[in-house]
Amino acid sequence: MTTERPPSQGRRLVALPATVWAAVALPFISIVLALLVGSIVILASEVIVPGHPFDVTLPVTAYAALFEGAFGGLDPIVNTIRAATPLVLAGLAVGLAFKAGLFNIGAQGQFLLGALGSVTVGVALNQASPFIAIPAALLAGMLAGAAWGFIPGFLKAISGAHEVVTTIMLNYVAVSVIAWAVSGPLDQPGSPSPITAQVGNAALPVIIGRNGHLGVLVALAAVLAVGWLLFRTTRGFEIRTVGANPDAARYAGMQPRLIVVLTMSLAGVLAGLAGATVVLGVTHYMMASFGTTVGFDSIAVALLGRSSPVGIVFAAILFGAMRAGAPLMQIQTGSLIPAELVDVLQATILLFLAAHEVIRHILKLRGVKAGLETTDTIARTYGRESV
């Protein structure tokens, strides 16, 4: 990446150096720079917080613990996979929408509704055969998520209401729907705080290590399915065309409205599935306040993975690893480093990705074209009437 290459003229179908640059080098450099910024934050916080001896090696200790907690053995690796699973699915939900030029901030709400749908059916079928209970609970999660994705898609198709606004609002509605459902109809009488019953036989079976559940296979299947949809089917081509240029799509006889509704509903299916894997695979019950940030983190995952299904897998593993390693980092640094460092790292990675022009300038890589495709897509279509 240090070699100067002639500027590629326009967008070629196979422009390997530029593609490699954008897909691998840029995220990699962003991660390295974010770790550097994180080190500075750690050292600065040591200066600010009194009462502790200044330890120059603390960033190394912290990152080593973060790494050990994420990859240092079978259990940590399983933890990483467990944390990455919902991020892959919700990341696909955001990434797929990006491909259609839609900014799906509603993955959070779709995730929550999916969790609610699957916990409802899971609790109802917790004595049934797992062969019935698990597919039924997963399906319920997908349908509930799909409904929550359909609404903003439908609103956009009929009235042009921007999905950024409607999905943000629906996120809040979802939080309240869950609080109502879990403290009302689903609440276990006698519980000190609102909580649903266990999903029992609807729980996803453990397939790797101590607690690696079946959800990881669900996520991988979804990656293949989305990849196939986007790049091997006519619908996928339509989705990408609507995202690239809705006017041209309409001119070519496609129906952007239909594609928008379809894409948002599919995104809802994926995010709903993410919620389903968490309640059926990890918690096995639901509290009135789920308090998750998976839906928001997935936006970062989709950006880092450049909306490509494979890229999203790697981005989700990175973010999942940071979440899995965070407890050990807090333990081994004597709590000098709070878990929020992970948020700092995530945000900084994203910042460098979005500001890729800056990196290119700093590293004197002016010749290389093509940056973060998705942010360019958003930049091009943001606030514009696409249907």
Partner 1 sequence: MRKQRWLGASAALVTLTLVLAACSSGASPSASAAGSSESAPASVPVTAHSDLKIGVVTDVGTANDKNFNEYTYVGTKQGAAAIGAAEPPVTVPKDSSEFASSIQAYVDDGYDIIVTAGFSLGVATTQAAHDNPDVWFIGVDQGPPCVNAEGLPDTTFACAGDAATLLPHFVALSYQEDQAGYLAGMAAASASKSGTIGAILGISLCGPCIRYTQGFKLGAESINPDIKLVVNWVTESDFVKAFNDPVSGKSYGDQFLQQNPDVDVLFQVAGKTGNGVLDAACEAGIYGIGVDVDQSLSYPNAAKCTITSAMKSLALAVSTDIGKIVDGSMKGGDDHWDASRDGIAYGPFHDLASAFPANMADLLDAAFAKMKAGTLVTCPEKCGDLSTLK
Instruction: Map tokens 């065309």 to a residue.
Output: 241
Q: Which is nearer to partner 1, 103 or 148 (CB)?
A: 103
Burial bucket for residue 128 (CB in 10 Å: 0-12, 13-18, 19+):
middle
- Residues in contact with 364: Cβ distance below 8 Å, sequence separation at least 6, in sequence order: none
Residue 33: CB minimum distance to partner 1, A: 17
Q: What is the DSSP letter of 191?
A: -
In whole angstroms, what is the distance from residue 225 CA to residue 270 CA? 11
Q: Which is nearer to partner 1, 41 or 147 (CB)?
A: 41
233-263 burial, b at 16+ Cβ within 10 Å, e below that, comes to eebbebbbbbbebbeebbeeebebbebbbbb
Q: Which is nearer to partner 1, 186 or 254 (CB)?
A: 186
In whole angstroms, what is the distance from residue 246 CA to residue 113 CA? 30
In whole angstroms, what is the distance from residue 160 CA to residue 367 CA? 39
Instruction: Concatenate the DSSP letters of all residues of 133-177 into one string.
Output: HHHHHHHHHHHHHHHHHHHHHHHHHHH---HHHHHHHHHHHHHHH
Q: Which is nearer to partner 1, 268 or 371 (CB)?
A: 371
Q: Which is nearer to partner 1, 50 or 185 (CB)?
A: 50
Residue 241: CB minimum distance to partner 1, A: 20
Q: Which is nearer to partner 1, 57 or 234 (CB)?
A: 57
Residue 6: CB minimum distance to partner 1, A: 21
Residue 279: CB minimum distance to partner 1, A: 8
Distances (CA, A) of 144 to 2, 92, 140, 223, 326: 49, 17, 6, 20, 31
Instruction: Map tokens 């800056």 to a residue.
Output: 358
Residue 51: CB minimum distance to partner 1, A: 4
Residue 60: CB minimum distance to partner 1, A: 15
Centroid of chain to Cα 298: 2
Q: Which is nearer to partner 1, 105 or 259 (CB)?
A: 105
Q: How many other CB atoms are there within 10 angstroms of residue 77's CB atom?
A: 17
Residue 32: CB minimum distance to partner 1, A: 20
Q: Which residues pair with 287 in a beta bridge?
A: 195
Residue 211: CB minimum distance to partner 1, A: 8
Q: Which is nearer to partner 1, 232 or 380 (CB)?
A: 380
